[in-house]
Amino acid sequence: MTRTILITGASRGIGRAVAIQCGRRGWSVGVNYAGNEQAAMATVTAIEAAGGKAIAIQGDVAVESDVIRMFDATEKAFGPITGVVNNAGIVAPGMKLVDMTAERFARMFAVNVTGAYLVARETARRMGTDRGGPHGPNLGGSLVNLSSAAARLGSPNEYVDYAGSKGAIDTMTIGLSKELAPVGIRVNAIRPGLIDTEIHASGGEPGRAFRLASMVPLARPGTADEVANAILFLLSDESAYITGALLDVSGGR
Ligand code: NAP
């Protein structure tokens, strides 16, 4: 069955890996990105090479009109959206909370919390069977939120702000899964651990996932594809009876 999936932050990292796996299933993908157009176009090319269809859509998840526009563009290109991966997220340089600025808090929560909530709201407005959603009442769409192991570890001395932003995603997932179950939308979250992507470089330490690998029971960082495998499961009908789950993909950490 063909699907239309919108993935926020799909130009790089975990979002890109999910997008390419969707392409392998022949699905159509809205590839949102913030600023790296070249990377987004490379993702589109990779999806098409894998057998799917794709468009790139620039937009900041923290801006309401951008979020609405990315849903509109995906629907216009490929028809009703049947799955959303709420993936875009940021970190900031590791430091203790005592040294963090108000500007840092504002951006962290704007992208990771307000952005994720806007994407979730738009998903509810478009995919719910009460809003003309594409499926019958027993086969709704799927929203997959990207939380983090940080939500339960707290990330002391590094990212207490980021960890809190992901705690909000866990809580939203639990509440929204109950709110949207009657309208056929399943809502689950993935909590990745240390995954080898460029997010660590954006926090100032490209080698962070490898530096901390000894703390992981499986003794290595995970790959973006290993996280994508779990996301594809939650997007697909193989997980039809799963909603409200917080799934750790963290090598046992
Ligand atoms: P990444 O490699 O840094 O990629 C981030 C992606 O998000 C890029 O496509 C980027 O677009 C996009 N993005 C950033 N800010 C955005 C915004 N305001 N609006 C729209 N798109 C935006 O990140 P990642 O490691 O794949 O992480 C993906 C998700 O998994 C995040 O929510 C992250 O918190 C979570 N996670 C990651 C890890 C890990 O170890 N990697 C662990 C736990 C949780 P551009 O290319 O245009 O900049």
Contact 47, 22 (CB under 8 A): yes
Query: For residue 141, how far is its CA from the centre of ligand 1 (angstroms)?
Result: 23
Ligand 1 atom 17, closest CA: 60
Contact 88, 15 (CB under 8 A): yes
Q: Could you report the per-residue pLDDT of 108-154, keeping only the tens digit for each?
A: 999 999 999 999 999 999 998 887 655 444 346 999 999 999 999 99
| Mean per-residue pLDDT, 76-97 | 96
pTM of the model: 0.97
Catalytic residues: 162
Query: For residue 162, how far is its CA from the centre of ligand 1 (angstroms)?
Result: 12
The residue assigned the tokens 């970190």 is: 91
15 lines ligand 1 (CB under 6 A): yes
9 lines ligand 1 (CB under 6 A): yes
Substitution candidate for ligand 1 out of 14, 86, 246, 248 with most atoms within 8 A of CB: 14
**Which regions of 42-129 does DSSP assign to beta strands (E)?**
53-58, 83-86
Specify the pLDDT at position 132: 62
- One-letter identity of residue 72: D
Q: Could you report the per-residue pLDDT of 185-219, keeping only the tens digit for each?
A: 999 999 999 999 999 999 999 999 999 999 999 99
Strand, helix or coil for residue 93: coil
7 lines ligand 1 (CB under 6 A): no
